[in-house]
Amino acid sequence: MSGPDYLGLFAGLRERDYAARGLMVLEGRILLDKALDAGLAVEAALCVPADLEAIEARAAGAFPILTLPSPEISALAGFGFHRGVLAVARRPEPRRLERATAPQGHALVLWNVTDAENLGLLSRSAAALGAAAIALGPGCADPFSRKALRTSMGNLLARPLFRVELDGLAALRGPGRALVAAALGPRSRELLGFDAAGRALALVLGNEGYGLPDEVVDACDEALVVPMASGVDSLNVAAAGAIMMWELFGKNPA
């Protein structure tokens, strides 16, 4: 299907305009598949002619599909595009994290992670390393921005996503659970010496430059650090998070 009314959805693709309308942009087949698997409503798709048959089969008539050559898609969208398909979908609404809605199993909690690429990379690692859910605290980047979705390889759509405030962290503590901060401080200990004792873990990561607020660390059961070589004082938050999830989640199936 094609038509001028739908082409306007893909003109300019400015983040703030789409967010204000409750929409998000999906770049490529992987993100479109993840969105459809999650049951999200797709408004329309725009693809190169060679991909039309595959996208029509996936859509099964649920949304209109337009076709243009790749250079024309790039000109319309306003950036170089080489992924075959763009789609516009309705944004999901993350639930508020409370004890009644707390996920089972391990979870990743991000607090003031302002960089969309780091947020996306962390969610991709979380999916690969055993997190059952992701919770976003105050100050985090938009999880449905193009960059966050692209770097997450769609995993921000494939795991339960929650919003959490300070008082909501208590939902991740209790019998059989532990809330663990990635933080350097007086009570911190090395990651490799931590015994999860069969508990489901929620790992809390903060801003790359400033770390976690004291009140968040105080709300956690443990504070852990990644041991590093002498003369090195920090890691990129996405790298540190992957290391910690490998050690905490991978070695302690929940």
Q: pTM for this one?
A: 0.92
| 6 closest CA partner among 61, 54, 64, 83 | 64
Domain with CATH 3.30.1330.30 in the chain: 4-90
CATH architecture of 95-250: 3-Layer(aba) Sandwich (3.40)
In this prediction, residue 167 carries a pLDDT of: 94
pLDDT average per 10 residues of sequence, the chain (254 residues): 67 83 94 96 95 95 94 85 88 92 92 97 96 97 96 95 96 94 89 87 94 96 87 82 93 71
In the structure encoding, which two tokens stand for residue 233, read together?
């004082």
Please state, in angstroms and as integers, the Cα–Cα distance from residue 59 to each residue in 43, 48, 52, 53, 56, following that order: 11, 15, 10, 10, 5
Q: Are 90 and 43 in contact (CB under 8 A)?
A: yes
Strand (E) or helix (H) holding 73? helix 70-77
Phi, psi of 122 (to 5 degrees): -65, -40
Domain with CATH 3.40.1280.10 in the chain: 95-250
- Our separate counts of H helices and E strands in the chain read 10, 12
Owner of token pair 């009570």: 187
Fold entry, domain 4-90? 60s Ribosomal Protein L30; Chain: A; (3.30.1330)
Q: Give bridge partners of residue 66 from the DSSP assignment.
A: 46
In this prediction, residue 1 carries a pLDDT of: 42
In this prediction, residue 95 carries a pLDDT of: 93
In this prediction, residue 247 carries a pLDDT of: 93
Owner of token pair 């094609």: 2
Phi, psi of 130 (to 5 degrees): 110, 10
